[in-house]
Amino acid sequence: MTQAPAQPAADSIDKSLGNTIVKCVGLTKVFKDFWLRNRVKAVNEIDLDIYGGEVFGLLGPNGSGKSTTIKLILGLLHPTAGRIAVFGRHPRDVKNKQRIGYLPEESYLYPFLNAYETLEYYGKLFHQKRTIRKGRIDTLLEMVGLQHVARRPVGEYSKGMQRKVGLAQALINDPDLLILDEPTSGMDPIATADVKRVIKSLAERGKTILLCSHLLADVEDVTDRVAIMYGGKVRRYGQIDELLEEHDRTLISTPTMTPEVEERIIAMLEQQGICDTSVSRPRQKLETFFLNIVAEAQAAGIATSGAQSGGKIASFLSGEDDASQTEGEAVIDQLVRKGSAPASPQHPSDAEHAANETRHHSEQVIDSLTTSGQPASGSKTAQPEPEPQQQADTSLIDSLIQKKDGDNKTKG
């Protein structure tokens, strides 16, 4: 994930905070009863730093203090003890709000407004000019696939559709800090994939995202760092790759092998002193499988009611075209992108990107296998792409060793 510098307005940030967008020190929140007696310590002395340009995941079971932490960051609650700084300022400072987008755990929309009016209302609160506002509303509605029902009252929407409007309102100001509380709850897998793509796209542009979710797979797919909360305290906190990596295991992925080849490899590994080896067929993720099916149906032109997958990320969010972007902002944006390795002009698909990375790592793995005989550590994980089944003969292992070909993908 790109570690980009903070956005232009960061010049007003307290210099001592550096690239820290959100800083919590000893943050505590105690809820009281009617008689002002302490009842629940929802957040208990947590220290948290969220840096510019990262996707930060806040995980934990129900009642662990995630939403309370978010509300403290947003100034909707006052801390009982400790301090919070958002963009170097008090969390309730209205100047902060200009740069924040917030999607609460439920959509909390006005049921009597339609989607267009809802976005127009929130756009007005950001003092956006009419033309800019209108452009953004249209692209956001297209992005979340609600343009065809934009004039229907939000109260008539399904929960998933309301979440999409909620997401659109959180993005209307192209925020520097996006706070998403259970963003994919109630959404179908297509919309969930869209949300993840938006998150990744924003992160590539150097935006900071604080993500709070129960759906661990979603968090895992997009976050750089996570904090796991329980009982109001942060239990684990760090880079997701470091936290999740199994240091005592190695996974090699190849095209389908015959049983003979598998046996030869196991034997070879045993020769190298590597026991407790297993060989199995990798499974693609259900999400990938589902999305492929839907993509096929969409390609066949089968109609559906309700929300449609917008698919395309709003131009002002992807940075492709934004009428509101000033010349200076455009230059800074370009600079940010230059510093972001994965954000090439063509924006290769995630699958391609993952495939390239995997190729590189599989070369390293095979190198280690053939030279030192020791398993390589620190291999980067990636999602497997569905591959056509291939029949391998006994010469495959030889060719693998000789060519060190990196067509394969590893799965961590």
Partner 1 sequence: MRKSWKMWLIVLLALLGLSTGLTILLRLQGSWIAGNTVGRIGGILANAWIIYGLIVWRSVPWVRRFGLILIATAAMQILMLICWAFGSTDMVIALAGVYAMAMIFYAGLWLIRLLLSPSIGIFGVARTLIDEAIRMKIALVFIIGVALLIAIFPFAIDQEDFLKYRITSFLTWSLMATSGLLSLMTIFLAIATITREQKQKQIYITLTKPLHRGEYLLGKWLGITLLNLLLLSVACAGIYAFTKLLEAQPARDDADRLAVQSQVLVARKALEPIPPEPAALQSMYNDMLERLRDEDPERYGNPGDPSDVVLPMDRADIQQKVMLRWFTIPNRSSMVYRFTGLNDAKKYSQPLQLRFKPKLAGQSFEGFCFLGLRINGRPFYQPGITTDAGLLKLAENNFHVLDINPAVIDENGTMDVEISNPAIGNMQQPALSFNPKDGLEVLYRVGDFEANLIRSFGIIWLRLMFLAMLGLAAGSYLGFPVASLVCLLIYCTAAGNAYIAESLKYYAAFPSDALPLWAKIMWIIDKALSLISEGEYYDLFKMIIKLIGSGFLLVAPSFGELNAAPLVSDGRIVPTEMLIRAITWAGLVWTGLTGFIGWIIFRGKELARVTV
Q: Does 159 bind partner 1 (CB under 8 A)?
A: no
What is 272-334 written as a DSSP string? Answer: TT--S---------HHHHHHHHHHHHHHTT---SS-----SPPHHHHTS--TT--HHHHHHHH
Residue 122 binds partner 1 (CB under 8 A): yes
> Applying CB under 8 A, what is the total number of residues that bind partner 1?
41
- The C-alpha atoms of residue 98 and residue 131 are separated, in whole angstroms, by 19
Distance, CA of 188 to CA of 296 (rounded, Å): 17
Task: State yes or no: residue 76 binds partner 1 (CB under 8 A).
Answer: yes
- Tell whether residue 148 is a contact of partner 1 (CB under 8 A): no
Q: Of these, 108, 272, 296, 341, which contacts partner 1 (CB under 8 A)?
A: 108
Residue 128, interface with partner 1 (CB under 8 A)? yes
Is position 131 an interface residue for partner 1 (rule: CB under 8 A)?
Answer: no
Provide, for the chain, the percentages of residues in helix, strand and coil under a 3-state DSSP scheme, each rounded to the nearest 5: 40, 15, 45
Alpha-carbon gap, residue 158 to 364, rounded angstroms: 49
| Near partner 1 by CB under 8 A: residue from 83, 129, 148, 285 | 129
From residue 266, alpha-carbon distances to 262, 282, 390, 392, 402 in Å are 6, 17, 20, 16, 18
**Residues 167-186 interacting with partner 1 (rule: CB under 8 A):** 169, 173
Closest to partner 1 by CB, 4 vs 72, is 72
DSSP 90-153: -TT-HHHHTTEEEE-SS----TTSBHHHHHHHHHHHTT--HHHHHHHHHHHHHHTT-GGGTTSB
For residues 282 and 284, what is the distance between their CA atoms, to the nearest angstrom? Answer: 7
Give the nearest distance from C-beta 72 to partner 1 in angstroms: 9
When the beta carbons of 8 and 75 are compared against partner 1, the nearer one is 75
> Shortest Cβ distance from residue 64 to partner 1 (Å)?
15
Restricted to residues 334-393, the positions that interact with partner 1 (CB under 8 A) are none
Among 12, 110, 260, 402, binds partner 1 (CB under 8 A): 110
Instruction: Count the residues in the chain.
Output: 412
Query: Do residues 109 and 168 touch, judged by C-beta distance below 8 A?
Result: no
Least separation in angstroms between CB 82 and partner 1: 15
Pick one of 4, 6, 43, 77: the residue that binds partner 1 (CB under 8 A). Answer: 77
Q: Is 136 in the site for partner 1 (CB under 8 A)?
A: no
Candidate list 12, 26, 81, 130; residue touching partner 1; CB under 8 A: 130
User: Rule CB under 8 A: which residues touch partner 1?
Assistant: 31-34, 39-40, 71, 74-78, 94-95, 97-98, 100, 102, 104, 106, 108-110, 112-113, 117, 121-130, 133, 153, 166, 169, 173
